[in-house]
Amino acid sequence: MKRSRDKAASELFTALYPRLAGWCRRLVDDDETAHEIASEAFTRLWARWSRVEEPRGFLYVTAANLVRDHWRKLERERRAMRRATTEAVVNSRTEQADPSVRLLVQSLPERLRTPILLHYYADMPIREVSALTGRKEGTVKADLHAARELLRVHLRRSLDHTL
């Protein structure tokens, strides 16, 4: 029993780790952090192995939560640096003018951010996003639409400020 469990875990790791780490890399823009997040997601999966029905979904949702925590930590560090330097005004203008989609996605409410991350960044179909988030497919579609509209407005506003 243990041998088959270990083999299944090893096969899952071989099949999913590179893609999960790559997905995390696109979100955090740092190889080391991406591998740390992917590894932590697998560690948390192993701890719950016998209770997890959908390992792939568990890994991506866990990684999305870890990415969100990473973004929050970075934002706290940025705020502390802004307070500690006299260049706060210049930095804030530069950040407001940066139309980075990753930063805009990060600013979305969690209800909208999670479906965006799973559908567009992890290439999961709406059906799977629905199952992982516990929301109806129609709700996921509506959330994706609302998130795209918010992103479009923010991106347009950011681009207007830079012209």
- From 41, 65, 88, give the residue that closes a domain: 88
Q: How confident is the model at residue 122 (pLDDT cuts 50, 70, 90)?
A: confident
Distance CA 152, CA 146 (A): 10
- Same domain flag for 15 and 66: yes
- Same domain flag for 110 and 136: yes
Has residue 90 got a pLDDT over 50?
no
Range of the domain at 115: 96-162
Amino acid present at 44: R
pLDDT tens column, 26-80: 999 899 999 999 999 999 999 998 899 899 999 999 999 999 999 988 887 777 6
Residue 141 has phi, psi (to 5 degrees) of: -60, -45
Number of domains forming the structure of the chain: 2
Cβ atoms 27, 102 nearer than 8 A: yes
Give the pLDDT mean for 126-146. 91
Cα dihedral: 87, 156, 34, 110 (round 10): 100
Give the pLDDT mean for 144-152. 89
* DSSP helix, strand, coil percent of the chain (3-state; round to 5): 85, 0, 15
Distance CA 98, CA 139 (A): 30
pLDDT mean across residues, the chain: 83
pLDDT of residue 123: 82
Has residue 21 got a pLDDT over 50?
yes
- Same domain flag for 78 and 1: yes
pLDDT of residue 88: 42
Look at the pTM and tell me if it is higher than 0.85: no
What's the gap between Cα 86 and its chain centre? Answer: 32
Residue of 100 and 70 predicted with greater confidence:
70
- Same domain flag for 4 and 82: yes
- From 88, 118, 137, give the residue that closes a domain: 88
Reference 62, options 44, 35, 36; nearest CA is 44
- Same domain flag for 49 and 111: no
pLDDT of residue 20: 95
